Structure 1
Amino acid sequence: MSPDPMVSPEAARSEARRRLTASHRRWTLDGWSQPVWTLPLRPPTERQVLADPAAAEAWVRGWAGRSLTAGLSLDWEDRTWRSVGTQRVPVRLVAQSPEDLAGFAGGPVAAEATRFAARVARIRTDYPAAVGQSPLARYLGGPDVPADDGDPGDPRHERLNAALRRHAERLTGLPDEEFDRMLGVLAWLARHPVAGLRPRQLPIRGVDSKWFSVHRTVLTALHGALASVPVDLGVVDADPRVRMRVLDPSMRPAGLEDLELPMAEAVTLDGVLGGALERVLIVENKETLLCLPEARGVLAIWGRGFDTAAAVLPWLAGVPITYWGDLDSQGFAILHRYRSHLPQVESVLMDEATLEDFADLWVPEPKPFRGALVTLTPAESRTVERLRAEGDVRLEQERVSWPYALARLASHLRLQVDG
């Protein structure tokens, strides 16, 4: 067996970046002990020196000429070999702190680690410096509260760490001005209750409903973590809405065909539909919804992907339902979600025959679903296996030719399609 290769300065830097990527958030949030990182350099053995003395000498010179910052040390040891005598060789590289490791690693990984650590420090202790209080002190309600919230025994400490860990990527990726604005809004929210307001009603200068919507999840998490008692902001969400088309003219309330209703109103829709509702068709693509022809007894609903809010409409429980989504693993995951609420849901145009008929239009699926899909039928499960066997491909709904789709829909629904 050949000995392990000697670790070059370049390989050590790559390993430092890998370790920094894997550990810098944990070190920042949970602490660390010295040294934070030790890398064995695997110096040459006597056999390696004898086999290629020039390579061994070049490796030692490469490390000997390396300038290291304070906090980063290179340990040397004497090795005595019968054939070549005593040689002094580097044996390990040691970083005392995450900052030392970042200084050696360099590049975008080090910049990310440094930015995250600095922003966590600001959230914990430094902001807003003008009034001498940390956000935690503001949330606790007075200047007598210490600015340091790092006491592991304080439940706020773990709540804050959990929020920072969960939203680390978002917090690190924000431009500086956006991060400053977020902290300013967080401090404002600590002193001004907003429960019951809609985003448009928030009286925060420079913060519109769009900005709040983008950053709401992080703000809510930090606000709840820093409060003396975990609490939600209480800002009112927009009501979920359902978009649908009444394909049967005899069923249209007041002659209205294309409807988009708040969920609170949609729950009563069956009471105003004329005629007999024979089937509901849920389609993934909005253009598909708009292209569907008239059909007796059919109500069509736009599924909106994983937004399966329509599944809770009480009047759907007793109606036959057909779902047509993208022919990919995510489409079957959505079907599974609907079927978990509504066991009677059937699929259409989500089978191997359709997949094969449009093989030239397959594209790779960016993020295949890997979870369990226990509600699928055997035929649907085989289709999922086929998608994976073909290399995680997908056939998007809009790529299926319209005449083909319309013929299959009419046959499956066993309804008279009038146009």
Structure 2
Amino acid sequence: MISPLEIKNKAERSFKNYLSSLVEDIDLFPIEIAGNKKPNKDISVFHKEIEKLVNDSKEKKGYGYSVEYKRVNTRNNAIQDLPQKIYFDTETDYLKFIDKQKEASQFKIDSVMLLVKYPELKNFIISKPNRIVKNAGKWQEIIKVINYFVENPKPDLYIRELPIKIHTKFIERNKGILRELLDIILNNEVVNNEEVFELRFGLKLAEPMIRFKVLDKSLANKYFSGLDDLALPLNLFKNLNIKLSRVIILENKVSLYNALTIPNKKDTIAIFGKGYSVSNLKNICWLEDTQLIYWGDFDAHGFDILSKIRQYYNNVQSILMDRETFDIFYEGDKGKYLDKTELPNLLDEEQELYKYIRENNLRLEQEKIPRDYFIEAFEKL
């Protein structure tokens, strides 16, 4: 039979729907909780389950779930009053039971404040109410930032130069939610088709540092005094005057560290792509004359990044992003959703794997692929 803990877990899972209903002005109550209400065949166990169910109910505690019973004649337990329906009759009963009164109260304040200023956010709040809850305590500052961009699209300033009365690091720390909202509120004409926040919303971007590993010891000795792990400002990296035959772009930092264990590769460097920051590598002329290799995570975003790199260079080959490797090492991890059913610039087998991974929300990180396996793959280059 369903327990009070199961009732609480089910009630908590419905909290998102409850929040959405507030914005939609829909009355959800009473909220019924589905679950197993069959009596245990052991009458002593059954009585304990009923006792626990009653003791945690509104009947005993004054709030929480209510239980409706139906008198039935059971084969094993004779005449018994069995739970027929479990439900939360009122908002107060529901919120107090799951201890969400404060969150709900703050959500009401924040959602009203947002909708008064920007009614076009209604669908966003309905579909993602947890984003409002997660950012509680920040909404006045967030609205200040939105107001500024509405009044000053593409300001062409550094983030910390913006004349907004907020903490100097506020925008940097809250780029995710700010991007979601600005994408909805700003006109398409003032939103650039860029992934990097600053470039997307017309801000100056501090020159990024390009980190790379030199995989050829003779190159490291000749040009970098033996150093093989370096970072250069983008403008200096663009002007490197070194003859390279191969450049490997790696999505994450752990893979970059592992790259140093690759046996000496003549005229080769490995670059830390840093996810979507790989866009920093566009328009570097000398990359066009090298064999470009990309190794990313097995998830929708890894293939999206591969697609973007091929927008910049048509000589990009992926490595260890094939179905065989995925099937060998996949451990059941879940990825992040990407709202793109198909990606340009992928080979047929890459497109097929992307669709499979995206539709099933799968993820295999580079770190999960054993060293010996990727060393063998890179030695074949």
Matched residue SS, 1:313: coil
Choose which of 154, 168, 175 in structure 2 pairs with 1:216.
175
1:123 corresponds to:
110
Corresponding residue number in structure 1 for 2:347: 375
Q: Does the C-alpha gap of structure 1 residues 182 and 40 become closer, same or farther in structure 2, counting only changes over 3 Å?
A: closer
Q: Tell me what 2:360 maps to.
A: none
Distance 1:42 1:169 in 2: 29
Aligned to 1:152: none
Distance of 1:101 and 1:11 partners within structure 2:
14
SS in 1 for 2:68: strand
Structure-2 residue corresponding to 1:196: 156
Contact 2:247/2:292 (CA < 8 Å) preserved in 1?
Answer: yes
Secondary structure, in 3 states, of the residue corresponding to 2:33? strand
Q: State yes or no: 1:236 paired with 2:196.
A: no
Change (3 A) 1:56 1:334: closer
AA at the equivalent of 2:316: V
Q: Pick closer, same or farther for the CA change 1:338–1:311 going to 2, 3 Å.
A: farther
Provide Cα deviations, 1:27-74, integer angstroms capped at 9, x if missing partner: 343343343422367666xxx79x655555555555555444468543
User: What is residue 143 of structure 1 aligned with on the other side?
Assistant: none
Preserved CA contact (<8 Å) 2:68 2:85: yes
The reply on whether 1:30 has 2:20 as its aligned counterpart is no
- 1:102 equivalent to 2:74? Answer no
| Among 284, 290, 293, the residue aligned to 1:323 | 293
Equivalent in 173, 180, 199 of residue 137 of structure 2: 180
State the Cα deviation string for residues 119-167 of structure 1 (Å, max 9, x = none). Answer: 3322233xxxxxxxx4555x4xxxxxxxxxxxxxxxx54x323433566
- Distance 1:96-1:291 versus aligned 2 partners, 3 A rule: same
Partner SS for 1:190: helix
**TM-score (normalizing by structure 2):** 0.60
1:345 aligns with 2:316: yes
2:7 matched residue in structure 1: 12
Separation (CA, whole Å) in 2 of partners of 1:35 and 1:337: 47
Shift of the 366–240 alpha-carbon distance from structure 1 to 2, 3 Å rule, reads farther
Q: 1:22 to 1:319 in 2, by over 3 A?
A: same
Distance across 1 between alignment mates of 2:77 and 2:265: 92
Deviation per CA, 1:162-192, whole angstroms, max 9, x where unpaired?
4335664454345xxxx43541452475379
Unpaired segments ≥5 residues, structure 1: 126-133, 140-155, 386-391, 414-419
Q: 1:336 to 1:310 in 2, by over 3 A?
A: same
1:93 correspondence with 2:53: no
Tell me if structure 2 keeps the 8 A contact 1:311–1:338. Answer: no
| Contact 2:37–2:82 (8 Å) recurs in 1 | yes
Whole-angstrom CA distance in 2 between matches of 1:163 and 1:277:
48
Q: How far apart, in 1, do the equivalents of 2:185 and 2:166 lie?
A: 23
Q: Is the 8 A contact 2:111 2:125 kept in 1?
A: no
Partner of 1:153: none
- Radius of gyration: which is bigger? 1
Against the structure 1 CA distance between its residues 376 and 365, is the aligned structure 2 distance closer, same or farther, given a 3 Å change threshold?
farther
SS at match of 1:308: helix
1:307 corresponds to which residue? Answer: 277
CA distance in 1, matches of 2:74, 2:259: 80
Give me the identity figure in percent: 15
Matched residue type, 2:249: I
Closer/same/farther in 2, CA of residues 77 and 273 from structure 1, 3 Å limit: closer
State the secondary structure of the residue aligned to 1:329: coil
Decide whether the 8 Å contact of 1:43 with 1:90 is kept in 2. yes
- Cα distance between partner residues in 2 of 1:396 and 1:320: 26
Deviation at 1:213, TM superposition (A): 0.8
Count, aligned residues = 341
1:164 is matched with which residue: 125, 142, 145?
125
Q: CA 1:397/1:100 → structure 2, altered by over 3 Å: closer, same or farther? A: closer
Instruction: State the one-letter code of the partner of 2:124.
Output: A
Counterpart residue number, 1:131: none
Q: Sort the Cα spacing of 1:301 and 1:90 in 2 relative to 1 into closer, same or farther, 3 A.
A: closer
- The whole-number CA distance in structure 2 between the counterparts of 1:370 and 1:221 is 14
